Structure 1
Amino acid sequence: MNILKGISHIGIPTDNFAKSVHDYEKIGFKLVNQEDNQGSATGFFQLGNLELEVWETKVNSVNGAINHYAIDTDEIDQAFELIKGMGFKLINQKIMHLPFWDHGISYFNFYGPNNEIIEICQRNKK
């Protein structure tokens, strides 16, 4: 049984959340969820099966900055043990939680083989 289901979302920081909302909606994305993450406007944008997480923060001036990509799971505890057991360098030493969506999310981050940040993310059902 594969507990990792596929891409969950791609995380992109922005220095102007309102402009991001305007621009993403202009090209066809729909803002499907908006949250406040400790004072940082955070939104999830949907276009077909592509979902972006965009949050306001001070960002560097590098064009095309992508912070992370997230893989979807319904088995966050098993996924955490699997990745930890494979020897990947964990960013989070435990499963983290945020009050996003209806019932919150559970997630953890680790470094991929090219030092990219990979998140394993579960939308909690209750």
Structure 2
Amino acid sequence: MKPHINITAIQHIGIPVTNIGDSQTFYERLGFTKAMLAGFMDGGRPGTCVMMRRGEMLLELYQLPEPQLQEVRNRKNGHIDHIAFNVENIDEAFAEIKRTGFNIIEPEPVLLQFWAKGCRYFNITGPDGERLEFNQIL
């Protein structure tokens, strides 16, 4: 069954990094500017996220806390963690995705204190385990 979801754009691409400051500087050298900086909790430990913008492009650079950070350090090459789609109404998108039988990771949309008023998101997995995020900036 094909869902009807009002996806308006790729919102951002999420990239796990080993040093948030070094990565921010690297992307600034490519012409990106910091759009947002926020902390988050992962497994009861603090992490850091910075959104970098250049024109309409938005990258989410995030540094996980230990021990997950060690896993990122041990990679032989970098990788993109997820692609996020912008949606106008996260609750409608969640209901439609659930109705059409996709594999949803979270039991309900999650609130993050990112941006001025927060954002809400949820993820699904694709056929090869890729993570696709649906996100509404509030």
Q: TM-score, normalised by structure 1?
A: 0.92
The runs of at least 4 aligned residues of structure 1 exceeding 4 Å deviation read none
How do 1:48-67 residues align onto structure 2 when only pairs under 5 Å count? 48-57=55-64, 58=69, 59=72, 60-67=74-81
User: Matched residues in 1 for 2:84 and 2:113: separation?
Assistant: 17
CA distance in 1, matches of 2:28, 2:110: 30
CA distance in 2, matches of 1:91, 1:116: 12
Structure 2 unmatched ranges of 5 or more = none
Amino acid of the residue matched to residue 19 of structure 1? D
Aligned-residue RMSD, C-alpha: 1.3
Describe the SS at the equivalent of 1:115. coil
Partners of 1:106 and 1:112 lie apart in 2 by: 20
Task: Sort the Cα spacing of 1:117 and 1:51 in 2 relative to 1 into closer, same or farther, 3 A.
Answer: same
CA displacement at 1:93 relative to structure 2: 1.1
The 8 Å contact of residues 5 and 96 in structure 2, kept in 1 or not, is answered as no
SS at match of 2:133: strand
CA distance in 1, matches of 2:40, 2:123: 17
Contact 1:3/1:78 (<8 A) preserved: no
Q: In the alignment, which residue of structure 2 is the partner of 1:20? A: 23
Q: Percent identity?
A: 35
Give the partner amino acid of 1:46: R
CA distance in 2, matches of 1:2, 1:16: 36
Alignment correspondent of 2:51 = 44
How many aligned positions are there?
A: 124
User: Where does structure 1 lack aligned partners over 5 or more consecutive residues?
Assistant: none
Alignment match, 1:5:
8
Using the TM superposition, name which of 72-81 and 61-70 deviates more. 61-70
1:88-117 CA-to-partner distances (Å, cap 9, x unmatched) read: 111101111001000000110110233200
> How far apart in 1 are the matches of 2:19 and 2:10?
25
